[in-house]
Amino acid sequence: MIGKNIKIFKELDSTNNFVKLNVSNIEDGTIIIAERQTKGRGLRENSWESDFGNLYFSFVLKNDIFRINIFKYIVQSSVAIIRTLNNFGINGVIKYPNDCLVNSKKISGILIESLGSKSLEYIVVGIGLNVNQVEFNELKEKATSIKLSSNKEISTIEVLNEFVASYNEVLESSFEQVFAEYLEKSIVIKKRISCKGKDYIISDIEKNGTIIIRNELSQKRVAYNEISLKELY
Ligand code: BTN
């Protein structure tokens, strides 16, 4: 269960960094929120724009950690985000592996990091969800928010509460059921992808995140971290 403890900071460099630095003093499932981040981080060393008005949070998972394959945590978080958006009347989809889009624009991103040695393993799940931002400047064509998608201004804490309820529901369901929902909301099946200079179609996603790609000549299995998201379109 997550969200039993919630700590809100006005400003942090990055909620993921905070959790990683203080992991031994933070209980399993505790949520760390920053109203603003000065060094918000995204995937592949990208920065994550983190001004006031959106939701930036991380939580730590310490029990039953399965670090060999973090795809399970990506699936659970993505489905919880889709359910959260649904509760605000917004129909989101998942761009494999871990972006949620609304009207083809990104509304949230997930950065999962693992740390620890074999005997002490943690997963840090960091989520950025655009809530009340309406100006995206150079990201105008690529990013959206709850406010832009629904015309409603909602407090970030209300959105967080919905996420916590959705995520805890997801944890109660079987992974098979949650994975089926992930697939149903995924927009990459049948999309074209280029891998090592050759063109393929994505034909399936497996439970461990491996995707099956094929063309007239061959079929291949590719791990989710072996391809770049940019290649998906
Ligand atoms: C992505 O590139 O799509 C992932 C973005 C993840 C951003 C969130 S905001 C809260 C947490 N703290 C960070 O520094 N990053 C994640």
* pLDDT, tens digit (0-9, with 9 covering 90-100), for 171-225: 999 999 999 999 999 998 888 888 778 888 889 999 989 999 999 999 999 886 6
CB 225 within 8 A of CB 210: no
- Under DSSP, is residue 218 helix (H, G, I), strand (E, B) or coil? coil
Q: What is the 131 CA–ligand 1 centroid distance (Å)?
A: 14
pLDDT beyond 90 at 168: yes
The CATH architecture one would assign to domain 6-185 is: 2-Layer Sandwich (3.30)
* pLDDT for residue 227: 62
Q: For residue range 79-88, list pLDDT tens digits in order.
A: 999 999 999 9
Two tokens at 200? 């393929």
Check pocket membership of 48 for ligand 1, CB cut-off 6 A.
Answer: yes
14 lines ligand 1 (CB under 6 A): yes
Burial zone of 207 (CB within 10 Å; 0-12 exposed, 13-18 middle, 19+ buried): middle
Average pLDDT value for the chain? 90
pLDDT-derived band at 68, boundaries 50, 70, 90? low
Length of the chain (residues): 233
**pLDDT tens, 24-66?**
999 999 999 999 999 999 988 889 999 999 999 999 999 877 6
In short, whether 97's Cβ falls inside 6 Å of ligand 1 is no
Angle at 78 between CA 73 and CA 84, to 5 degrees: 125
Contact 56, 31 (CB under 8 A): no
CA distances from 5 to 2, 61, 176, 223 (A): 8, 13, 28, 35
